[in-house]
Chain A
Amino acid sequence: EPEVTQTPSHQVTQMGQEVILRCVPISNHLYFYWYRQILGQKVEFLVSFYNNEISEKSEIFDDQFSVERPDGSNFTLKIRSTKLEDSAMYFCASSVLQALNEKLFFGSGTQLSVL
């Protein structure tokens, strides 16, 4: 079965540094998402992306965050100046459509540790 690929699996960074988390969605999917999961907490929506622009974002997704599809295959999440509270598992997901019943395919996540 096709899968969403995320790299790196683990990223350690110093507070204030910029990080870029990378994702390769499933090739025929059109909608892309980032979710995050702070340790021990629920999975939270960050942003959805379609047709090279953000379609929806949550309150968490402030000006420190940005997303980009730099080429035909990658989808990236950039955190401009990381804070301690950005430490979390970040999941990329993709779907063919954006519909109520649409199944999201998630990657295996990038564990971001901000020191």
Chain B
Amino acid sequence: AQKVTQAQTEISVVEKEDVTLDCVYETRDTTYYLFWYKQPPSGELVFLIRRNSFDEQNEISGRYSWNFQKSTSSFNFTITASQVVDSAVYFCALSEVGDYKLSFGAGTTVTVRA
């Protein structure tokens, strides 16, 4: 069974548009962590954020914001006023108790056109 589902395969926007990436996860644990990683064209995986299961406060970091809702098992990511440099593949990932490895979603490719 998929632990992390990113239903959107590709999203294409024009610069300055907002874009929201969906992430739905599945776990039986009450303690877990959620992550977002960015994979730019250069290939590396860049950590963006982690969130623990007890902290449902939304977080904003510059143009990035995250909306964590336990009731719907979702951890969505919004890029406000997108820029060409935001073009990348974005991965949502889950870390569960006793299973410290990351379970990644399939990723969403974001293309921002000038």
Q: How many A-B residue pairs have CB under 8 A?
A: 62
Q: Is there an interface contact between B52 and A101, defined as CB atoms closer than 8 Å?
A: yes
Closest to B29 in A: A100
Please indicate the chain A residues that have their CB under 8 angstroms from the CB of B44 in the complex: 106-109
With contacts A58-B101, A100-B52, A103-B35 known, what are 16 further pairs, Cβ within 8 A? A33-B101, A35-B102, A42-B106, A43-B45, A43-B93, A43-B107, A48-B100, A89-B43, A93-B45, A98-B100, A102-B95, A105-B47, A106-B46, A107-B44, A108-B44, A109-B44
Tell me if B91 is interfacial: C-beta within 8 Å of chain A: yes
Q: Which residues does chain B contribute within 8 Å of A108, judged by CB atoms?
A: 42-44
B104 contacts partner chain A, Cβ-Cβ < 8 Å: yes
Chain A: interface size category:
20 to 34
Q: Does A32 contact B (CB under 8 A)?
A: no
Contacts from B to A (Cβ < 8 Å):
31-33, 35, 37, 42-47, 50, 52, 91, 93, 95-97, 100-107
- Please list the residues of chain A having a beta carbon within 8 angstroms of any beta carbon in chain B: 9, 33, 35, 41-45, 48, 56, 58, 89, 91, 93, 98-109, 111
Question: A residues within 8 A CB of B47?
Answer: 103-106
Q: Which residues of B are found within 8 Å of A35, using beta-carbon distances?
A: 102
Also in contact, A109 and B43, with CB within 8 A (given A43-B91, A101-B33)? yes
